[in-house]
Amino acid sequence: MLDRPNPAPEAPCLDPFALAKALSGVHFIGGRYVPARSGRNFAVVNPATGEAVAEAADGDAADVEAAVAEAARAQKEWARVPARKRGALVHKAAALIREHVEELSRLVALETGKALRTESRVEANNVADIFEFFGGLGGELKGETVPFSPEVLDITVREPLGVVGAIIPWNIPMMLMALKAAPAIVAGNSIVVKSAEEAPLAVLRIVELMNRVLPAGVFNILSGQGPECGAPLVEHPLVKKVTFTGSVETGKIIYRAAAEKLIPVTLELGGKSPMIVFADCDFEKTVQGALTSMRFTRQGQSCTAASRIFVERPIYERFVAEMARRVDAMVMGDPLDEKTDIGTIISPGQFEKVRGFIEEGKATAGATGRACSAMPSDPALRKGLFIQPHIFTGLGTESRLVREEIFGPVTVVFPFDDAEAVLAAANDTEFGLAASVWTNNLRIALDFAHRIEAGLVQVNQNLVVQPNLSYGGVKASGLGKEASLESMLEHFTHKKTIMVNMA
Domain match, 142 and 285 both: no
- 491: domain CATH number is 3.40.605.10
CA-closest candidate to residue 203, choices 156, 161, 171: 171
Domain match, 38 and 135 both: yes
What is the structure's pLDDT at 62?
98
Residues in contact with 371: Cβ distance below 8 Å, sequence separation at least 6, in sequence order: 388, 389, 390
Measured CA distances, 344 to 4, 83, 104, 171, 355 (Å): 34, 42, 18, 11, 13
CA-closest candidate to residue 7, choices 42, 20, 16, 66: 20
Phi, psi (5° rounding) for residue 216?
A: -60, 135
Domains identified in the chain, total number: 2
In a domain, residue 364? The reply is: yes
User: What number is the average pLDDT over the span 19-48?
Assistant: 97
In a domain, residue 113? The reply is: yes
In a domain, residue 229? The reply is: yes
Please say whether the beta carbons of 187 and 180 come within 8 A. no
In a domain, residue 362? The reply is: yes
Domain match, 205 and 310 both: no
Residues in contact with 129: Cβ distance below 8 Å, sequence separation at least 6, in sequence order: 94, 467
Domain match, 93 and 232 both: yes
List, for residues 290-327, the tens digit of each pLDDT value: 999 999 999 999 999 999 999 999 999 999 999 999 99
Structural domain that includes position 249: 16-269+477-497
In a domain, residue 61? The reply is: yes
Residue 1 has pLDDT above 50, yes or no: no
**C-alpha–C-alpha distance, residues 188 and 216, integer Å:** 14
What is the Rg, in whole angstroms, of the alpha carbon atoms belonging to the chain?
23
Domain match, 237 and 280 both: no
In a domain, residue 101? The reply is: yes
Domain match, 261 and 122 both: yes
Phi, psi (5° rounding) for residue 234?
A: -60, -40
Question: Is residue 268 flagged as an active site residue?
Answer: yes
Question: Is the Cα dihedral 311, 312, 313, 316 positive or negative?
Answer: negative
Domain match, 281 and 216 both: no
Domain match, 322 and 388 both: yes
Average pLDDT taken over every residue of the chain: 97
Domain match, 188 and 243 both: yes
In a domain, residue 196? The reply is: yes
Residue 151 has pLDDT above 60, yes or no: yes
Strands 152-160 and 493-501: antiparallel
In a domain, residue 5? The reply is: no
- DSSP per residue, 181-217: HHHHHHTT-EEEEE--TT--HHHHHHHHHHTTTSPTT
What is the structure's pLDDT at 8?
84
pLDDT band at 3; cut points 50, 70, 90: low
List, for residues 226-249, the tens digit of each pLDDT value: 999 999 999 999 999 999 999 999
Assign 469 to helix, strand or coil. coil
Domain match, 359 and 488 both: no
pLDDT band at 4; cut points 50, 70, 90: low
- 283: domain CATH number is 3.40.309.10
User: What number is the average pLDDT over the span 193-203?
Assistant: 98
What is the structure's pLDDT at 281?
98
List, for residues 45-91, the tens digit of each pLDDT value: 999 999 999 999 999 999 999 999 999 999 999 999 999 999 999 99
What is the structure's pLDDT at 5?
57
Residue 451 has pLDDT above 80, yes or no: yes
Q: What order of strands is seen across the sheet that includes strand 478-479? A: 32-34, 27-29, 219-222, 190-194, 163-167, 239-245, 265-268, 478-479
Domain match, 41 and 173 both: yes
- Which of the residues 208, 268, 312, 405 is marked catalytic? 268
Domain match, 173 and 253 both: yes
Assign 274 to helix, strand or coil. strand
What is the structure's pLDDT at 7?
75
